[in-house]
């Protein structure tokens, strides 16, 4: 027979180990939930100008990386994947500022058209995706016509360039944020 003190100590060690495992699993579940929330919020942030979409999605991926996210085969997320997604995130974040400005200037638009497009986008959010598209174009058109003394045909051209630039920038951000969310789901 084993000494009762040794049995008690052995039982205590087992309970402590299972308690630690439970804490780790609980933390992993919480990290997974937060990562998914960041991924979804990042997609919303691609449309809402106040929220940085792709960086927020990437933070969810980073959180999952540090908490040992694995795919269905048991493979851990690689640092290469994390760095590639970071590079894409930084690239689309920078391009989101450059593309609309370049297309606005290329079509003869002013800064007023860009500001009007953002205001139209925000107002258009109330009226579904079609309202967002129309709001972006109409906001740029109204601002360009109001703040500059250009003929209507040039204002329409500038508004179209601003609209196109905004849509391209938003589309790129959406693609990267959706890709990051897919990886978050894969590595849950």
pLDDT digits (tens, 9 = 90+) for 147-159: 888 888 888 988 8
Overall number of domains in the chain: 1
CA angle 48, 50, 51 (to 5 degrees): 75
Q: What residues make up the domain containing 36?
A: 4-186
Other Cβ atoms within 10 Å of 186 Cβ, number = 15
Residues 6+ apart with CB under 8 A from 119: 139, 143
Residues 6+ apart with CB under 8 A from 39: 57, 60, 61, 177, 180, 181, 184, 185
- Report d(CA 57, CA 63) in Å as an integer: 10
More confidently predicted of 81 and 21: 81
pLDDT digits (tens, 9 = 90+) for 29-39: 898 999 999 99
pLDDT in the model for residue 86: 98
Q: pTM value?
A: 0.78
Query: Residue 148: helix, strand or coil by DSSP?
Result: coil
Side-chain-side CA neighbours of residue 92 (13 Å)? 29
- Report d(CA 139, CA 126) in Å as an integer: 14
- Report d(CA 85, CA 134) in Å as an integer: 32
């Amino acid at each position: 027979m084993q000494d009762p003190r040794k049995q008690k100590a052995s039982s205590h060690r087992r309970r402590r180990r299972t308690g630690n495992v439970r804490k780790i699993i609980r933390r992993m579940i919480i990290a997974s939930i937060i990562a998914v929330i960041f991924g979804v919020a990042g997609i919303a942030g691609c449309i809402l100008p106040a929220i940085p979409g792709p960086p927020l999605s990437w933070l969810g991926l980073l959180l999952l990386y540090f908490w040992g996210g694995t795919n269905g085969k048991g493979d851990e997320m690689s640092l290469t994947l994390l760095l590639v997604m970071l590079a894409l995130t930084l690239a689309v974040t920078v391009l989101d500022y450059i593309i609309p400005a370049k297309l606005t200037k290329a079509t003869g638009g002013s800064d007023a058209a860009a500001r009007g497009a953002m205001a139209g986008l925000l107002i258009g959010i109330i009226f579904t995706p079609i309202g967002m598209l129309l709001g972006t174009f109409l906001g740029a058109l109204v601002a360009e016509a109001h703040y500059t003394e250009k003929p209507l045909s040039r204002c329409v051209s500038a508004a179209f360039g601003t609209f196109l630039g905004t849509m391209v920038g938003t589309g790129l951000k959406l693609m990267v944020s959706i890709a990051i969310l897919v990886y978050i789901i894969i590595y849950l």
